[in-house]
Amino acid sequence: MTSSRRDRDGEGRARNARPRDGLGRPLPYGAPGVERQPEGVVRSPEETVREGQRLLDAGMPFHAHEVFEDAWKSRPQGERELWRGLAQLAVGLTHAARGNATGGAALLARGTDSLGRYVGVPLYGIDLGALTAWAEALTARLPGPVDARAEAPRLTGSR
Protein backbone atom coordinates (compact mmCIF):
# COMPACT_ATOMS: atom_id res chain seq x y z
CA MET A 1 0.00 0.00 0.00
CA THR A 2 1.34 3.39 -0.95
CA SER A 3 0.98 6.34 1.34
CA SER A 4 0.31 9.73 -0.09
CA ARG A 5 2.09 12.74 1.27
CA ARG A 6 -0.21 15.70 1.86
CA ASP A 7 0.92 19.25 2.30
CA ARG A 8 0.27 20.45 5.85
CA ASP A 9 0.40 23.84 7.50
CA GLY A 10 2.26 24.61 10.73
CA GLU A 11 -0.66 23.28 12.78
CA GLY A 12 -0.87 19.99 10.88
CA ARG A 13 -3.98 20.82 8.83
CA ALA A 14 -4.06 19.69 5.22
CA ARG A 15 -3.11 22.72 3.13
CA ASN A 16 -2.01 22.71 -0.48
CA ALA A 17 1.40 24.36 -0.58
CA ARG A 18 1.60 24.63 -4.36
CA PRO A 19 2.16 28.16 -5.58
CA ARG A 20 -0.83 29.92 -7.14
CA ASP A 21 -1.23 32.41 -9.95
CA GLY A 22 -3.15 35.68 -9.63
CA LEU A 23 -6.44 33.90 -10.30
CA GLY A 24 -5.76 31.28 -7.63
CA ARG A 25 -4.94 28.45 -10.02
CA PRO A 26 -2.36 26.00 -8.66
CA LEU A 27 1.02 26.05 -10.37
CA PRO A 28 3.67 23.31 -10.33
CA TYR A 29 5.78 23.05 -7.19
CA GLY A 30 8.78 25.34 -7.47
CA ALA A 31 7.13 27.70 -9.99
CA PRO A 32 6.99 31.36 -9.07
CA GLY A 33 3.54 32.34 -7.88
CA VAL A 34 1.85 35.22 -6.12
CA GLU A 35 1.86 35.49 -2.36
CA ARG A 36 -1.22 33.89 -0.85
CA GLN A 37 -3.48 35.70 1.55
CA PRO A 38 -3.08 34.53 5.12
CA GLU A 39 -6.25 32.89 6.43
CA GLY A 40 -8.20 33.91 9.48
CA VAL A 41 -7.07 37.54 9.58
CA VAL A 42 -9.50 39.73 11.50
CA ARG A 43 -9.61 43.19 9.93
CA SER A 44 -11.86 46.15 10.51
CA PRO A 45 -14.55 46.56 7.85
CA GLU A 46 -12.66 49.53 6.40
CA GLU A 47 -9.40 47.52 6.24
CA THR A 48 -11.29 44.67 4.58
CA VAL A 49 -12.70 46.98 1.92
CA ARG A 50 -9.28 48.59 1.29
CA GLU A 51 -7.45 45.25 1.04
CA GLY A 52 -10.18 43.67 -1.09
CA GLN A 53 -10.11 46.64 -3.47
CA ARG A 54 -6.32 46.55 -3.68
CA LEU A 55 -6.43 42.90 -4.70
CA LEU A 56 -9.27 43.43 -7.18
CA ASP A 57 -7.37 46.34 -8.75
CA ALA A 58 -4.30 44.08 -9.05
CA GLY A 59 -6.35 41.53 -11.03
CA MET A 60 -6.39 39.05 -8.14
CA PRO A 61 -10.08 38.49 -7.36
CA PHE A 62 -9.45 35.00 -5.94
CA HIS A 63 -7.24 36.56 -3.29
CA ALA A 64 -9.80 39.33 -2.66
CA HIS A 65 -12.38 36.58 -2.11
CA GLU A 66 -10.22 35.17 0.69
CA VAL A 67 -10.10 38.59 2.40
CA PHE A 68 -13.90 38.90 2.20
CA GLU A 69 -14.25 35.32 3.44
CA ASP A 70 -12.28 36.22 6.58
CA ALA A 71 -14.75 39.06 7.23
CA TRP A 72 -17.70 36.77 6.52
CA LYS A 73 -16.45 34.41 9.22
CA SER A 74 -15.50 37.05 11.80
CA ARG A 75 -18.05 39.88 11.54
CA PRO A 76 -21.33 40.02 13.48
CA GLN A 77 -24.19 37.83 12.25
CA GLY A 78 -26.10 40.79 10.81
CA GLU A 79 -23.23 41.59 8.42
CA ARG A 80 -22.20 38.12 7.31
CA GLU A 81 -24.34 38.06 4.16
CA LEU A 82 -22.70 41.34 3.09
CA TRP A 83 -19.20 39.88 3.26
CA ARG A 84 -20.37 36.56 1.84
CA GLY A 85 -21.90 38.42 -1.11
CA LEU A 86 -18.66 40.32 -1.74
CA ALA A 87 -16.71 37.04 -1.58
CA GLN A 88 -19.13 35.48 -4.08
CA LEU A 89 -18.77 38.42 -6.48
CA ALA A 90 -14.97 38.18 -6.28
CA VAL A 91 -14.94 34.43 -6.92
CA GLY A 92 -17.52 34.91 -9.69
CA LEU A 93 -15.08 37.31 -11.39
CA THR A 94 -12.35 34.71 -10.80
CA HIS A 95 -14.32 31.99 -12.60
CA ALA A 96 -15.27 34.32 -15.45
CA ALA A 97 -11.61 35.34 -15.91
CA ARG A 98 -10.57 31.67 -15.91
CA GLY A 99 -13.03 31.06 -18.76
CA ASN A 100 -15.71 29.33 -16.68
CA ALA A 101 -18.69 31.42 -17.77
CA THR A 102 -21.29 29.11 -16.19
CA GLY A 103 -19.62 29.10 -12.78
CA GLY A 104 -18.88 32.82 -13.00
CA ALA A 105 -22.49 33.69 -13.81
CA ALA A 106 -23.81 31.45 -11.02
CA LEU A 107 -21.53 33.02 -8.40
CA LEU A 108 -22.21 36.56 -9.59
CA ALA A 109 -25.95 35.82 -9.22
CA ARG A 110 -25.47 34.35 -5.73
CA GLY A 111 -23.38 37.35 -4.71
CA THR A 112 -26.03 39.75 -5.98
CA ASP A 113 -28.69 37.82 -4.06
CA SER A 114 -26.60 37.88 -0.87
CA LEU A 115 -26.11 41.65 -1.17
CA GLY A 116 -29.76 42.32 -1.99
CA ARG A 117 -30.87 42.75 1.61
CA TYR A 118 -28.33 45.57 2.12
CA VAL A 119 -28.98 47.67 -1.00
CA GLY A 120 -29.87 51.18 0.11
CA VAL A 121 -28.27 50.67 3.53
CA PRO A 122 -25.02 52.65 3.87
CA LEU A 123 -22.37 50.19 5.04
CA TYR A 124 -18.70 51.16 5.12
CA GLY A 125 -19.05 53.28 1.98
CA ILE A 126 -19.74 50.21 -0.19
CA ASP A 127 -21.85 51.12 -3.23
CA LEU A 128 -24.06 48.01 -3.37
CA GLY A 129 -26.26 49.37 -6.15
CA ALA A 130 -23.23 49.91 -8.38
CA LEU A 131 -21.86 46.46 -7.50
CA THR A 132 -25.15 44.83 -8.41
CA ALA A 133 -25.22 46.70 -11.72
CA TRP A 134 -21.59 45.68 -12.37
CA ALA A 135 -22.35 42.00 -11.70
CA GLU A 136 -25.42 42.04 -13.94
CA ALA A 137 -23.51 43.76 -16.78
CA LEU A 138 -20.61 41.30 -16.53
CA THR A 139 -22.99 38.33 -16.48
CA ALA A 140 -24.78 39.64 -19.58
CA ARG A 141 -21.46 39.66 -21.49
CA LEU A 142 -20.59 36.05 -20.64
CA PRO A 143 -19.29 33.93 -22.24
CA GLY A 144 -16.57 36.14 -23.48
CA PRO A 145 -13.05 37.14 -22.58
CA VAL A 146 -12.75 38.65 -19.13
CA ASP A 147 -9.67 40.48 -17.90
CA ALA A 148 -9.88 40.42 -14.10
CA ARG A 149 -7.88 43.62 -13.69
CA ALA A 150 -9.80 45.59 -16.31
CA GLU A 151 -13.15 44.27 -15.04
CA ALA A 152 -12.48 44.88 -11.34
CA PRO A 153 -15.47 46.54 -9.69
CA ARG A 154 -15.24 49.61 -7.48
CA LEU A 155 -16.47 48.73 -4.01
CA THR A 156 -16.99 52.30 -2.90
CA GLY A 157 -17.78 53.88 -6.25
CA SER A 158 -14.74 56.17 -6.09
CA ARG A 159 -11.05 55.81 -6.78
Set out the domains of the chain in order of their start, with CATH numbers: 45-141 (1.10.3450.10)
Q: What is the mean pLDDT of residues 54-62?
A: 96
Q: In whole angstroms, what is the distance from residue 133 CA to residue 79 CA?
A: 21
Q: What is the mean pLDDT of residues 7-32?
A: 79
Residues 7-29, buried b or exposed e (16+ Cβ, 10 A)?
eeeeeeeeeeeebbebbbeeeee
Bridge partners for 14 per DSSP: 8
The amino acid sitting at 147 is D
Contact 27, 40 (CB under 8 A): no
Q: What is the mean pLDDT of residues 9-37?
A: 81
pLDDT over 70 at 10, yes or no: no
Residue 36 pLDDT: 82
Q: To 10 degrees, the CA torsion angle through 47, 50, 52, 53? A: 170
Q: What is the mean pLDDT of residues 6-11?
A: 65
What digits encode the pLDDT tens for the residues 25-52? 999 998 998 888 888 899 999 999 999 9
Q: What is the mean pLDDT of residues 65-93?
A: 96
pLDDT category of residue 1 using cuts at 50, 70 and 90: very low
pLDDT over 80 at 7, yes or no: no
Structure pTM?
A: 0.87
The amino acid sitting at 27 is L
pLDDT over 50 at 11, yes or no: yes
What digits encode the pLDDT tens for the residues 95-154? 999 999 999 999 999 999 999 999 888 899 999 999 999 999 999 999 989 999 999 999
